[in-house]
Amino acid sequence: MASNQASLLLQKQLRDLCRNPVDGFSAGLVDETNVFEWSVSVIGPPDTLYEGGFFSAIMSFPPNYPVSPPTVRFTSEMWHPNVYPDGKVCISILHPPGDDPNGYELASERWSPVHTVESIVLSIISMLSSPNDESPANVEAAKEWRDNRNEFRKKVARCVRRSQEMEDFLVAANS
């Protein structure tokens, strides 16, 4: 029953995004037969190190969505303190609801069923604009962000360039 309600809610959120697109990202299904796996493209926000990048991610929803949060994993190369080396995004609103067992986050900062795909992606765009190096997913990136900003910039610039090359390749392949 929960899975059916989740499916209906996800279909509605996808329809709403298609009707009212949001600047900075687009979303669609990975496979038309599975509403629980979304392909998301995030455009690097203006005036950030990620500006001009086209970053792809997969958003996977649990059967009990929106009670539990989805997971988001970049499939594009991403160098960021709040993105694990495997691409998984680590931000508060994607953490299970309730108190943080590690005491880093307030319950109010964690997942709540009122969040939508739009609010999640806007939080990811915000994360790209201002990394949180206090509780990093990628310790090496966080250390570089703090101690060697030039090297950090170079790695991000390479990620942006590669994402642009991949976007150009995909556009050419679909022409």
- Beta strands 54-60 and 34-43 are antiparallel
Whether 18 is catalytic is no
Question: For residue 2, what pLDDT is reported?
Answer: 64
- pTM score of the predicted model: 0.89
The domain that contains 149 carries what CATH number?
Answer: 3.10.110.10
Range of the domain at 123: 2-173
What tens digit of pLDDT does each residue of 72-120 get? Answer: 999 999 999 999 999 999 999 998 888 877 777 778 888 999 999 989 9
What tens digit of pLDDT does each residue of 110-138 get? Answer: 899 999 998 999 999 999 999 988 889 99
Residue from 90, 125, 137, 160 carrying the catalytic annotation = 90
How many domains is the chain built from? 1
**Strands annotated E in 23-163:** 25-31, 34-43, 54-60, 71-74
